[in-house]
Structure 1
Amino acid sequence: MRIRRPNRVDLICVAVGFAAVTAGVFVARASAAPSVAPLLLLGALFAFAEHEGVVVGERTGISASFMVTMAAVVVFRAEHSLLGPMLVGAIGGAAYLPHFRPFDWRKLVFNVGNYALASLCAALAFAAVPHSTSSFVPTLLVVSIPSAVVNSVIDVVLVTAVVSASTGSSLRGSFREMAPTYLHVYPFAVLGVFMGRLYLEIGAASVLLFIVPILIARHTFQTYVDLKQAHEATIRILIRALEAKDAYTAGHAERVAMFALYIGSELNLSPARQERLRLAALMHDVGKLIVPNHLLNKPGRLTAEEYARVRRHEHVSMELLTRIDFLAPVAPSASSEHSRFRPVSDDRGQPIEPHIVAVADAFDAMTSTRSYRRALTQQVAFDELRKNAGRQFHPRCVDALITAIERRGEHYGAGYEDGTGEWATPPPDAGTGSAGLGDLLPEPAPRLASGGVA
């Protein structure tokens, strides 16, 4: 029988579980034993909250168990017991049934350890703050803030470590992606402090009052997830419409989105801005739905009239995006007017997203085969971007894209294309230009580096 060697995920889960057991042994010796009744009741509520959680990503979820943790911190602070909150978290993690069907020991060990350690650290932070034994609720709400922050930080750090190990993503990227999700639980952390104080006042009868906020929390989180899914569905519909019209345009939009996120990551944009950037890149060419295919794929030079007709897609893109509420903020990225770099206003209150999309758009256009020209090599595309940095393109965006691609060891352009498409007339190695290049009559017109109708 071949024994599988433990991987990074196994080691992290075991380490978290071991740390929780070790901490539990020390805490049991140093603090008072918790009362059994609140321990069992709050542990059961924690488990219930976990079962009412909502999945917000491929590997993470969010629930109102944070509220139960804060209630436990308040309840067991009155007993001077650090072990109580820790055991509440451990019970809640151990009683999560989906990890038993099928049995997944890693998730079970990790959740028990994670919740126990996060709850313990929250209890320690709460005990260290003056007036944490006050019976005055407003005071409790204020002094509980450090505890709530500590609890969420420990949780997100540990979850980030295991998600990064299991997906191969960077720790920083995983942390920046998940951290904003925890902002949604802070109102329920405040409510947990209030509920904990209510338990101390009226006893076990208050447990029934926990059910309503847990269900409200679930509804709130589910509404948030449903809204994001609705947004994604809207994007998919528009992308499919582009694909039905011109498969290249749809594939181009998806590649531009990928390159734009490369740049956004290099520039350390927040997860919220990166999501907005992704939408901007996907939708920057949506106005091409009104452009006839024979113009998009014309092998030769466009006439001035044809050029003007193709350029109308920018206005249509902006108009369409502006009318869709969640896409309105990214509308400027569809306009060459907003995306063209102007050194005078560099980084002075101007959003960088349109500049990012412009660079990503140009790179993909140059490294893709179109009807008017075969794909350029990656090095030629890099040279064109560098040559036009500071004039047409934002220099930081150019440097960021080149750095990101080289760090990943990826190659695009001539010799690395997945497919060159089917063309009635084989594209020439060097083309006469297109609307994206700007080399149209009347002459002279500057040759820009965007490489095509991109």
Structure 2
Amino acid sequence: MKNKRLVIYLSMLYLIAAYSFYNSYKYLKVDVDLIDIAFFIILSIITESLSVGFKKIRISSGFAITVASIILFGGFWTMVIISLGMAFRIYKKPDRYIHVFNTPVYITLFNISNMAISAYSSSIAYNSFIRYSFSNNIFILEFLQIFSFIIVFLTVNSLIMAILMYSLSNNNILQEFVNTFRFGLLNIIAMAPFGYLLAYLYRNYNVAGILILMVPVLLARYTYYLYIEVKTKYLETVKALMHAVEARDKYTEGHSRNVAKIVEDIARELGYSESRVEQLIIASYLHDVGKIGIEDSILNKPGKLTEEEYNLIKSHPEIGYNILKDIKDFGDIPHLVRYHHERYDGKGYPWGKKAEELGKDVFILQLADAVDAMSTDRVYRKAMPWDEIKDELIKNSGTQFHPDIVNTFLKIKSKKA
């Protein structure tokens, strides 16, 4: 690892995790059967191994084991169970299986530390309701305990991941925290009732009770899998369509992919939700789909276009809109495709609409499209160096481009410089 900031962060995390284990063990008062602990470690490994990957995050039903563990065994043993479950999980990537023996030690230690610190912090919140409870109602007490455990666990876990992303790529910590928290909240809330029921059944029916409950838990995992499989195929279809469009024009190969990267950077810097970021990315892939309706002889013409030919080129946003408008659940994507050549001052095409009629998202796509066009060779000119592109953006801020989007993009570039 050459990233000094990352090395410092991981070193601190390992030390905090070691302290968490030590302090939790120091005050250990719960007598447990180690066979029970071993059984729950195996359950944790199984549920984490059956996690489902989407983008950079893996979703699992393992939080049900975490909740059951804190109820049954307390903080220290919960840390042991979920840390070992994370460390020894085995899951499949497209090209290979990932396990502890082919994972770098520092990643394994990070996973253990993340789980240990999250469990330690949330166990403190969980136990605080026993010492300082203001209610004698056992159901209210248990609800408050589990609720506080969930919120603290998710908050600490999200913060650890947000700082990691900042250390790796200088991403905005608050934005990464919010995105991770939102993404994990639904999964954790869905699994928490299973965890409570898991603890109840284990107390009353031992292993048989757990085996019965694992059926719906694994069914939940299968539901995640189906959702992500559909989502992945959907995105692959969009990308395939994008490649089909770009294959007709040798000068714009990779253009949509480049635009999508710029759009994603701007949207994340603005703190957009994952669903909104995803919508903008898909719009980026599809923004030139209307060029399907333009003849190759015009698209690839080496010389200057006639007025008639240029008018045909200018029709591609409307053609793209008509292709996409009737697709169900496509949100604002047809709108973004239709207006990605409009200008902030209302002098763009195809409709000459002004900024207040369009919304800021259109101008994220518009700027990204223009930046990549300036950055690459075209039939009519060579690629422009970054200093010239920057000057063009500043000069045309408030006329062609939305000033806020220009400022955000320049801020991103300065961070990466």
Alignment partner of 1:274 out of 277, 283, 286: 277
Post-superposition Cα deviations, 1:153-175, rounded to whole Å, max 9, x if no partner, equal 2223334444555x545362654
Return closer, same or farther for 1:96/1:365 CA change in 2, 3 Å cut-off: closer
Alignment partner of 1:354 out of 347, 353, 362: 362
Specify the SS of the correspondent of 1:144.
Answer: helix
2 CA distance for matches of 1:276 and 1:239?
15
Q: State the one-letter code of the partner of 2:364.
A: I
1 CA distance for matches of 2:158 and 2:341?
37
Structure 2 match to 1:145 = 147
Count of residues paired in the alignment: 398
Alignment partner of 1:386 out of 385, 394, 397: 394
Structure 1 match to 2:226 = 223
Once the two structures are TM-superposed, the CA of residue 104 in structure 1 deviates from its matched residue by 4.2
Structure 1 match to 2:80 = 87
Structure 1 match to 2:68 = 71
Return closer, same or farther for 1:118/1:242 CA change in 2, 3 Å cut-off: same
Return closer, same or farther for 1:305/1:100 CA change in 2, 3 Å cut-off: closer
Return closer, same or farther for 1:239/1:250 CA change in 2, 3 Å cut-off: farther
Once the two structures are TM-superposed, the CA of residue 241 in structure 1 deviates from its matched residue by 0.6
Structure 2 match to 1:371 = 379
Return closer, same or farther for 1:34/1:85 CA change in 2, 3 Å cut-off: farther
Once the two structures are TM-superposed, the CA of residue 376 in structure 1 deviates from its matched residue by 4.3
Alpha carbons 1:339, 1:357 under 8 Å: kept: no
Alpha carbons 1:132, 1:143 under 8 Å: kept: no
Alpha carbons 2:44, 2:81 under 8 Å: kept: yes
Pick which of 383-392 and 224-233 moved more. Answer: 383-392
Structure 2 match to 1:170 = 171
Alignment partner of 2:39 out of 38, 41, 46: 41
2 CA distance for matches of 1:197 and 1:365?
61
Once the two structures are TM-superposed, the CA of residue 66 in structure 1 deviates from its matched residue by 0.9
2 CA distance for matches of 1:350 and 1:243?
27
Q: State the one-letter code of the partner of 1:272.
A: S
Q: State the one-letter code of the partner of 1:253.
A: S
Once the two structures are TM-superposed, the CA of residue 355 in structure 1 deviates from its matched residue by 1.0
Once the two structures are TM-superposed, the CA of residue 332 in structure 1 deviates from its matched residue by 1.4
Post-superposition Cα deviations, 1:403-431, rounded to whole Å, max 9, x if no partner, equal 3234433xxxxxxxxxxxxxxxxxxxxxx
Matched, 1:402 2:410: yes
Return closer, same or farther for 1:254/1:21 CA change in 2, 3 Å cut-off: closer
Structure 2 match to 1:158 = 160
Alpha carbons 1:38, 1:204 under 8 Å: kept: no
Q: State the one-letter code of the partner of 1:106.
A: Y
Once the two structures are TM-superposed, the CA of residue 346 in structure 1 deviates from its matched residue by 8.7
Return closer, same or farther for 1:110/1:352 CA change in 2, 3 Å cut-off: same
Alpha carbons 1:287, 1:315 under 8 Å: kept: yes
Specify the SS of the correspondent of 1:340.
Answer: coil
Once the two structures are TM-superposed, the CA of residue 15 in structure 1 deviates from its matched residue by 4.3
| Counterparts of residues 206-285 of structure 1 (less than 5 Å) | 206-285=209-288
Specify the SS of the correspondent of 1:391.
Answer: coil
Q: State the one-letter code of the partner of 1:125.
A: A
2 CA distance for matches of 1:179 and 1:74?
23
Return closer, same or farther for 1:140/1:346 CA change in 2, 3 Å cut-off: farther
Post-superposition Cα deviations, 1:22-56, rounded to whole Å, max 9, x if no partner, equal 22332233241341154333232212211211222
Once the two structures are TM-superposed, the CA of residue 239 in structure 1 deviates from its matched residue by 2.0
Structure 2 match to 1:20 = 17
Pick which of 187-196 and 332-341 moved more. Answer: 332-341
1 CA distance for matches of 2:75 and 2:141?
21
Alpha carbons 1:317, 1:331 under 8 Å: kept: yes
Q: State the one-letter code of the partner of 2:183.
A: T
Once the two structures are TM-superposed, the CA of residue 398 in structure 1 deviates from its matched residue by 1.8
1 CA distance for matches of 2:87 and 2:380?
62
1 CA distance for matches of 2:336 and 2:398?
18
Report the TM-score, using the length of structure 2 for normalisation.
0.82
| Counterparts of residues 313-324 of structure 1 (less than 5 Å) | 313-324=316-327
* Unaligned ranges ≥5, structure 1: 410-454
Alpha carbons 2:263, 2:365 under 8 Å: kept: yes
Once the two structures are TM-superposed, the CA of residue 219 in structure 1 deviates from its matched residue by 1.0
Return closer, same or farther for 1:217/1:342 CA change in 2, 3 Å cut-off: farther
2 CA distance for matches of 1:205 and 1:155?
32
Post-superposition Cα deviations, 1:211-244, rounded to whole Å, max 9, x if no partner, equal 2133123212212321231122112211221222
Structure 2 match to 1:438 = none
Once the two structures are TM-superposed, the CA of residue 317 in structure 1 deviates from its matched residue by 0.8
2 CA distance for matches of 1:386 and 1:12?
37
Return closer, same or farther for 1:54/1:340 CA change in 2, 3 Å cut-off: same
Alpha carbons 1:87, 1:116 under 8 Å: kept: yes
Matched, 1:290 2:282: no
Specify the SS of the correspondent of 1:158.
Answer: helix
Return closer, same or farther for 1:207/1:242 CA change in 2, 3 Å cut-off: same
CA RMSD of aligned residues (A): 3.3
Return closer, same or farther for 1:389/1:153 CA change in 2, 3 Å cut-off: same
1 CA distance for matches of 2:87 and 2:389?
54
Q: State the one-letter code of the partner of 2:412.
A: A
Structure 1 match to 2:350 = none
Once the two structures are TM-superposed, the CA of residue 288 in structure 1 deviates from its matched residue by 0.5
Return closer, same or farther for 1:40/1:361 CA change in 2, 3 Å cut-off: same
Structure 1 match to 2:89 = 96
Alpha carbons 2:127, 2:145 under 8 Å: kept: no
| Higher Rg | 1
Specify the SS of the correspondent of 2:247.
Answer: helix
1 CA distance for matches of 2:135 and 2:82?
20
Return closer, same or farther for 1:208/1:9 CA change in 2, 3 Å cut-off: farther
Return closer, same or farther for 1:101/1:152 CA change in 2, 3 Å cut-off: same
Post-superposition Cα deviations, 1:374-425, rounded to whole Å, max 9, x if no partner, equal 444544443433333323321111222233234433xxxxxxxxxxxxxxxx
Q: State the one-letter code of the partner of 1:260.
A: V
